[in-house]
Amino acid sequence: MSGQARDAAIVGIYEYPSRAVDGEVNALQIKAHCAARALADAGLRWQDVDAIYDAAEGAPMSGLTIAEYFGIHPTVIDTTAVGGSSYEFHAAHARRDIAAGKCKVALLTYGSTAHSNAMAIGVGGSGFGGVTPTENMESFAGATLVSNYAMVARRHMHEYGTTSEQLAEISTATRYHAMRNPQAVQAMEDLEFIDIRETTIEDVVNSRMIADPLHLLECCMISDGGGAVVIASAEVARNCAKKPVWILGTGEATKYPQIGADLTTSAAVQSAPIAFGEAGVTAQEIDIAMVYDSFSITVLAILEDLGFCGKGEGGAWVQGGRLRFDQSGGPALNTDGGGLSSNHPGMRGIFLLIEAARQLRGESTAQVVDAKLAVAHGNGGMLGSRHSAGTVILGGD
């Protein structure tokens, strides 16, 4: 690891504590609240920020408005919007812009009131609205978001013999971690979860079927929430309030429907080798895997595509509780509770970076002993259809 380029690091993080704001604040206010506290976490000020990365979830035309709302004058403005993986793309772009000398302090923010607005995320379509050129082969058939993931799960079962019990390992691991995170427990209470506790494989497979073969406890919650991440140059990072978490490698990719394409393979097969190659590490060296968990199958497919095991081997590989933070063999999965049991306000990628940074600082509520390396992998769009992949490898100081 001594030869790795350490040009940029996460130096400030903050996660909005409430998952049910009930109209008390809007998305922009959540973003500003989180930004101010992430900067304070880093020991930096608003005027130190010279780069803004925004996915336009808080308001339209964010490239024109977000700097004004924050009252700053950045020299870099990046409005890449690729769904839930936008923030992994932003981290990659911030690292690139810092290395190029275009900026020194980058601010990434997210805010959403999906729960308060009663957004029908899973049962709706892709969110583009109407029949667009990218939906002309799907919308007429009534395909919903969750049905795309169900198709992947069913195909994985057909091709590789994967079982619902194996997929349930992902839900039980994330709930195991969530029960150690007071914010996640409060979230489940606020969102009126029933029987809040650690779950078993039987609990998951006996929960209500949502889209065959995916059960209720394999589907993410719909919450409000937000967060912010501050990324700084090496020069700035060394003088920040918290120890830096270095961005060691990044990769970006997209995948879309094609004749003969494999539904069970995600765009991670393209983004992951780039990120791991830049970092000079392998999946087997990773201590923490923060993987976008919109549904259980999302995680299983991506763990395979990141290289933790071979394609089709994921079901057997995740068995036995190996994804829990206190088990050997790892990596520890979504130690904040993930989208399944902590928060999912619509685009969850920023929380992957936040919890990975917590782990490498030693600040997680499900802390892995002596954690040194983490991967944050975001999946945007719909796994069974067009989607994006952003892979970020992070290392402690």
DSSP letter string, 221-273: ----EEEEEEEEEHHHHTTSSS--EEEEEEEEEEE---TT--TT--THHHHHH
Indicate whether 216 belongs to any domain. Answer: no
Indicate whether 193 belongs to any domain. Answer: no
Cα–Cα separations (whole angstroms), residue 384 to 144, 218, 257: 11, 16, 8
Indicate whether 136 belongs to any domain. Answer: no
Indicate whether 141 belongs to any domain. Answer: no
212 burial class (0-12, 13-18, 19+ CB within 10 angstroms)? exposed
Look-up of token digits 């490239």: 63
* Selection from 60, 67, 6 nearest residue 32 by Cα: 67
Looking at the DSSP assignment, which residues form a beta bridge with residue 394? 247, 374
Indicate whether 172 belongs to any domain. Answer: no
Looking at the DSSP assignment, which residues form a beta bridge with residue 375? 289, 393
Rounded CA separation 28/21 (Å): 13
Q: 16: helix, coil or strand?
A: coil
Which tens digits make up the pLDDT trace of 129-164?
555 666 666 666 677 889 999 999 999 999 999 999
Rounded CA separation 176/325 (Å): 9
Rounded CA separation 168/161 (Å): 14
Which tens digits make up the pLDDT trace of 57-83?
988 889 999 999 999 999 999 999 999
Which parts of the chain are beta strand (E)?
Answer: 8-15, 51-53, 76-78, 105-112, 209-211, 214-215, 225-233, 245-255, 288-291, 332-333, 373-381, 387-395
Mean pLDDT estimate for the chain? 94
pLDDT, residue 145, reads: 86
pLDDT tens for each residue of the chain, 397 residues long: 446 789 999 999 999 999 999 989 999 999 999 999 999 999 999 999 999 999 999 888 899 999 999 999 999 999 999 999 999 999 999 999 999 999 999 999 999 999 998 876 665 555 545 556 666 666 666 778 899 999 999 999 999 999 999 999 999 999 999 999 999 999 999 999 999 999 999 999 999 999 999 999 999 999 999 999 999 999 999 999 999 999 999 999 999 988 899 999 999 999 999 999 999 999 999 999 999 999 999 999 999 999 999 999 999 999 999 999 999 888 999 999 999 999 999 999 999 999 999 999 999 999 999 999 999 999 999 998 899 999 999 999 8
Indicate whether 75 belongs to any domain. Answer: yes
CATH number of the domain where residue 364 is located = 3.40.47.10
| Other CB atoms within 10 A of residue 169 CB | 26
Indicate whether 77 belongs to any domain. Answer: yes
What is the domain range of residue 227? 8-118+221-395
Indicate whether 123 belongs to any domain. Answer: no
**What's the structural domain count of the chain?**
1
Region of 129 please: left (phi>0), alpha (psi -120 to 50) or beta: left
- 154 half-sphere exposure, CB direction, 13 A CA radius: 12
